[in-house]
Structure formats: C-alpha cells, structure tokens
C-alpha cells in the first residue's frame, strides 16, 4: 500500500500497476486500496500543487498513475457493486481544450464509486444533454479554464433546464467560483478535485 501511495504521488504509472496488483494479492479490497493509498496520494499531490511546490505536469503524471491503477480495479469494483453512487457526465465546455483538472475530477469521482462518462474537451451543450439522457445521468459536471469560455456554462445550464432533464449541474475551473455558479443557475461548485466528490455526494443526498 505504501508503494502504491508513492507511485501515485510521484506519478509512476508502471509502479502503480505493480503495486495495486500486490495489494490485491495481499487480499486488500478495491475500496481499501483506493481509500487507503490512492485517494490520500491524490490529496497530497493536490495540496503540494496548491502550495506551489509542484506544477501541472506533476498533477498530470499523478492522474495518469491513478488511472492506470483504477483500470485494474474497476472491473473488480463493478463485479462487487450492484449499484453506484450515481452517474456523472463530465466535460470541458465548448471552445476550451484544457482537461487536466477535469480528468483529475473524473478520476476522483470514479475512485469514490461514481460511474463517470468523460466526454473530453470542447463539449457542446447539445452533447452534454444527449449523453446525460443516454446514460440516465444524475449530474452534469462542467469545467472551463478560460474566461472566454466560462460564459458558455450558462448556455449549457439554460439548455439543460429547457430540455426537461432532471439532473444536478456542478461546475469548476480556474475562472469560476461559487458566486458565478449561483449566478448561472448551477447547483454546485467545486474548487478542486478532492472537494468535487463531496459536492457530488451532497447534490445527490
């Protein structure tokens, strides 16, 4: 478990795969592995980033290492769980190609038991609605990194409300905040990947 923590924290994907298999061989459950090593490692690297001691490439490497470990655990988790906490359709809004932070959020949500449909970047309001409807989503999560694209979030919110979909909407990204979320009619806002899980759980409680 310590090896897995180190692998995720340092962004070593091959070691993460080896370490997660070792933990499974030692009879650890997928949730014990995620809660005991992977989530703490992501929280730690996130704290280092907030403090300015590591940078975006470090976050990206850690996210990739976590994803490589999750890829091994997900089939086992699906076999164990008959239900998920909820389904989240997530994407970076139209006109914005940044997805590092969004991918971190997606990984954290998956690690905590949500089913995540990751639409990537440059996602239109029509696609958000189409995928949310097709996957019977509980939450639509949107990200934006550019001030020039954050206003598109309101277009998505308005289109979702007009569509009649019964979903919660949460937003995140560098240029947005809780006041902006309230202003455009979103149900929740998260400032970081760790908090996103808490917000998503709260929206569905």
Q: Which two tokens stand for residue 151?
A: 């206003």
User: Could you report the per-residue pLDDT of 83-126, keeping only the tens digit for each?
Assistant: 678 999 999 999 999 887 888 888 888 877 899 999 999 999 99
User: Could you report the per-residue pLDDT of 135-149, keeping only the tens digit for each?
Assistant: 999 999 999 999 999
Which of the listed CATH numbers 1.25.40.10, 1.10.3720.10, 3.30.230.10, 1.10.1240.10 matches domain 2-80? Answer: 1.10.1240.10
CA distance 100 to 97: 10
Task: Note whether 2-80 and 87-204 share their fold.
Answer: no
User: Could you report the per-residue pLDDT of 25-75, keeping only the tens digit for each?
Assistant: 999 998 889 888 988 898 888 889 878 999 888 888 998 898 899 889 888
Domain 87-204 has CATH 3.40.47.40: no
- Domain boundaries, given as residue ranges, for the chain: 2-80, 87-204
CA distance 116 to 118: 6
What is the helix (H) or strand (E) element at residue 151, kind and residue range?
A: none
173: alpha, beta or left, given left = phi > 0 and alpha = psi -120 to 50?
A: left
Give the C-alpha distances (Å, rounded to integers) separating 101 from 1, 46, 56, 192.
25, 11, 9, 8
Selection from 175, 115, 178, 117 nearest residue 146 by Cα: 175
Tokens 């808490």 label which residue? Answer: 198
């Amino acid at each position: 478990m310590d090896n897995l923590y180190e692998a995720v924290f340092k962004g070593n994907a091959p070691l993460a795969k080896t370490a997660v298999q070792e933990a499974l061989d030692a009879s650890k459950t997928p949730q014990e592995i995620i809660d005991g090593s992977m989530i703490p490692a992501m929280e730690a690297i996130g704290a280092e980033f907030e403090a300015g001691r590591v940078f975006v490439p470090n976050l990206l490497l850690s996210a990739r290492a976590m994803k490589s470990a999750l890829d091994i655990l997900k089939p086992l988790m699906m076999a164990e769980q008959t239900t998920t906490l909820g389904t989240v359709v997530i994407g970076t809004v139209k006109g914005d190609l940044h997805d590092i932070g969004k991918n971190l959020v997606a990984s954290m949500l998956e690690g905590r038991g949500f089913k995540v449909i990751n639409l990537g970047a440059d996602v239109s309001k029509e696609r958000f609605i189409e995928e949310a409807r097709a996957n019977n989503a509980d939450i639509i999560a949107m990200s934006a990194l550019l001030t020039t694209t954050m206003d598109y979030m309101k277009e998505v919110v308005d289109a979702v409300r007009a569509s009649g979909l019964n979903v919660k909407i949460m937003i995140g990204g560098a240029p947005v905040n809780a006041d902006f979320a309230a202003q455009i009619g979103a149900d929740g806002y998260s400032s970081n990947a760790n908090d996103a899980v808490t917000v998503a759980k709260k929206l569905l409680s």
